[in-house]
Amino acid sequence: MQVKIKQIEGLQGIIDTPVAMGVEYSQSFGILVASTGNEFQTGVTMDFRPFADSVIQVQVNGLTVEGSYTDKLGGFYFSNDGITVKSMADLESGDFLYWNGVIKGYQLEVGDIVTILYEKEYLSYGTSGISGNGSGTNGSSGTSGIDGVNGTSGVSAIWNFMGTYNGNAEYHLGDVVTYEGQTWYALVPNQYMPPDMTNRPNDWKLIVEKGSAGTSGLQGPAGETLNVSGVVEDYNTLITNYGSIIGSFQPTLLTTVILKTTSELYIYDNLSGSADINGWVNMGEIQGPQGVTGENGSSGTSGVNGSAGTSGTLSLTGSTDNGLVTLNGTSPNVTVESTLIYDGVSLKLNAQSGDEGGELFLNKPVTNSSIANGVTIDIYQNKLRFFESGGSARGGYIDITDMKSGVGTNFAPYKYLYVNRTVNQTISSGNWANKDIIFNNIVTSQGIPYDTSTGVATLLPGTYRITAQVAWSAGAAYLLQWTCFDNINNRVGPVVEQIQPTSGSNNTSSGYLDFIFTTTGRFIKIRTMNECNALTGEYIRSDLNTSMIIQQIG
């Protein structure tokens, strides 16, 4: 529409009014909280109001998703309150995207990228006409425009108080816990990683620090004096001496007696619900804690010195610092050994000759031993030897050059784990991509903890051999890929791809994982790859070879 300006001095100007137009626009969001169920509010909002005849397209990780603009039966819908479904023509800036994960067949994961493509509304102005050659009179002021609508509320902060830290629980972004008197905020998903600013600054953030100790309170008033009626050896004597409800001697109400053998106080109160059949209430032990030790008494006077004995003869040989003294019973009878030294910390056997170094002899037991004389421990070339002294010199050795530096070799790395499945493993929706394979039964284990609810094994520092087999039941040919991951889904093993047979059955049991893994301490599990496309109806079988074995070998 054009508005014509009154002609002044023969020249007419033209001013164009703004025209609404559609401009292509896209907006993308990273998912911060994984969706659950249907009607899940994703935190994704419309940046602008779409143009009147704009077509809206929603993509998840680059793949277009079908939704609904009339009801809640599609993969998604838009709403400003979670109840009313917005039509495409009614969408406004700030309306939320809601996700129906059960209907769609899969849930949104943390880190998924949601993109919305549409034409946003844009006001276009035409070019101005030529200026007139005269000035018109000023027009009257226009009326004030109406107030704009209020902006939409921001997305709620991620803040979930979980109470005291539990070492076995899984925590996620936004979880808040108390630990050792301080309050912590989880920055990333984690498990088995207690808050620690020094070692885990990227996992937890300290938000409330422990306060200093308060001052001591004032001493309370003195308690009332206890009036004890008597002291007896045991409960039977109590009944005999002081009577009871059924006895011949009726005690007075609130009579108090102490049992000597247990230091317990009994009060007679036959009206109390805590009284026994005889009317006596056991108030518990009355013996207080042991008092502090008193100061030592002053030292007694010194005794009279005895007369001096006759001087003995001592001959000393050697002058080695920290050398041990030996006695040989002849003159010179005391020797300071040069190769046997104790410096207050270590006992050192410094004797050496040719290929042999220090040597230590341990005598055999008196009974129940078939050792000839005893056992000798010595150094020979690069070997630490243990052998029988005499006889056939039975024994063994450890070659020091075969070991790791930094005292890093475990002499007894006999830790192992064997787990399998006793029931089939299924999934309720979606496909098998990125799913943990859980072995619900521990056949045998030594030193390697395994959680049968999460499928996570805990490995201490060392070298391990990890083997696993997975058998599938499938109704069609799928890409079946899986391997070993750590607990935060970093891949640590080679990928296994199972090839289904061509005999008419799509079941397979040939997938086999076998690798060596060295770690300084890790949590590991078996998990499918993102490329695994088996659907909900397929499952992992328990009746074939689905199992995992972990052996520490160093």
Domain CATH number, residue 168: 2.10.10.20
Q: Are 126 and 18 in contact (CB under 8 A)?
A: no
Between 129-143, 357-371, 536-550, the lowest mean confidence (pLDDT) is in: 129-143
What sign has the CA pseudo-torsion 16, 17, 18, 20?
A: negative
- pLDDT tens for 42-98 read 989 988 888 876 788 899 998 898 888 888 888 999 999 888 998 888 888 889 999
Q: Are 385 and 360 in contact (CB under 8 A)?
A: no
Q: Tell me, yes or no, whether 312 lies in a domain.
A: no
Q: Are 133 and 11 in contact (CB under 8 A)?
A: yes
Q: What is the mean pLDDT of residues 408-430?
A: 87
131 — pLDDT class (breaks 50, 70, 90): very low
Whether 466 and 346 map to the same domain: the answer is: no
In this prediction, residue 448 carries a pLDDT of: 95
Separation between Cα atoms, residue 198 and residue 204, nearest integer Å:
10
Domain enclosing residue 251, as ranges: 230-285
E-assigned strands of 247-292? Answer: 256-259, 264-268, 280-285
In this prediction, residue 104 carries a pLDDT of: 87
Whether 423 and 398 map to the same domain: the answer is: no
Q: Tell me, yes or no, whether 133 lies in a domain.
A: no
pLDDT of 128 higher than 50: no
180 to each of 177, 186, 196, how far by Cα in Å? Answer: 10, 16, 10
In this prediction, residue 467 carries a pLDDT of: 97
In this prediction, residue 165 carries a pLDDT of: 94
Q: What is the mean pLDDT of residues 374-399?
A: 89
In this prediction, residue 528 carries a pLDDT of: 94
Q: What is the mean pLDDT of residues 523-544?
A: 91
247 to each of 238, 239, 256, 442, how far by Cα in Å? Answer: 11, 8, 17, 62
Q: What is the mean pLDDT of residues 229-243?
A: 77
Whether 118 and 180 map to the same domain: the answer is: no
Average pLDDT of the residues of the chain: 82
Q: Tell me, yes or no, whether 433 lies in a domain.
A: yes
Q: Tell me, yes or no, whether 442 lies in a domain.
A: yes
pLDDT of 1 higher than 50: no
Whether 98 and 120 map to the same domain: the answer is: yes
pLDDT of 170 higher than 80: yes
Whether 387 and 433 map to the same domain: the answer is: no
Q: Tell me, yes or no, whether 509 lies in a domain.
A: yes
Q: Tell me, yes or no, whether 215 lies in a domain.
A: no
Q: Tell me, yes or no, whether 303 lies in a domain.
A: no
pLDDT of 8 higher than 50: no
pLDDT of 290 higher than 80: no
pLDDT of 26 higher than 60: yes
Whether 397 and 429 map to the same domain: the answer is: no
Q: What is the mean pLDDT of residues 23-35?
A: 87
226 — pLDDT class (breaks 50, 70, 90): low
7 — pLDDT class (breaks 50, 70, 90): very low
In this prediction, residue 410 carries a pLDDT of: 73
| CA angle in degrees (0–180, nearest 5) for 155-161-165 | 140
Separation between Cα atoms, residue 114 and residue 550, nearest integer Å:
40
Whether 259 and 374 map to the same domain: the answer is: no
Q: Which amino acid is at 122?
A: Y
Separation between Cα atoms, residue 493 and residue 548, nearest integer Å:
13
Q: What is the mean pLDDT of residues 199-206?
A: 88
pLDDT of 458 higher than 90: yes
Whether 535 and 498 map to the same domain: the answer is: yes
In this prediction, residue 440 carries a pLDDT of: 95
- Residue 94's closest CA among 33, 38, 160, 27? 27
Separation between Cα atoms, residue 112 and residue 101, nearest integer Å:
13
Q: What is the mean pLDDT of residues 421-449?
A: 94
In this prediction, residue 40 carries a pLDDT of: 94
Between 37-51, 87-101, 323-337, the lowest mean confidence (pLDDT) is in: 323-337
Which residues face 349 on adjacent strands? Answer: 340
In this prediction, residue 518 carries a pLDDT of: 94
Here the tokens at position 128 are 């101005």
- Residue 189's closest CA among 454, 450, 435, 488? 488
Whether 447 and 396 map to the same domain: the answer is: no
pLDDT of 24 higher than 90: no
Between 280-294, 357-371, 391-405, the lowest mean confidence (pLDDT) is in: 280-294
Separation between Cα atoms, residue 251 and residue 279, nearest integer Å:
9
Domain CATH number, residue 452: 2.60.120.40
Number of compact structural domains in the chain: 5
How many percent of the chain have pLDDT more than 70?
82
Which tops the pLDDT comparison, 154 or 202? 202
416 — pLDDT class (breaks 50, 70, 90): very high
Which tops the pLDDT comparison, 256 or 470? 470
Whether 435 and 532 map to the same domain: the answer is: yes
246 — pLDDT class (breaks 50, 70, 90): low
Q: Tell me, yes or no, whether 67 lies in a domain.
A: yes
Q: Which amino acid is at 266?
A: Y
What sign has the CA pseudo-torsion 242, 245, 250, 254?
A: positive
Give every CB contact of residue 488 below 8 A, 6+ residues apart in sequence.
188, 189, 190
How many percent of the chain have pLDDT more than 90?
32
Whether 428 and 531 map to the same domain: the answer is: yes
Separation between Cα atoms, residue 258 and residue 84, nearest integer Å:
75
Whether 438 and 396 map to the same domain: the answer is: no
In this prediction, residue 17 carries a pLDDT of: 56
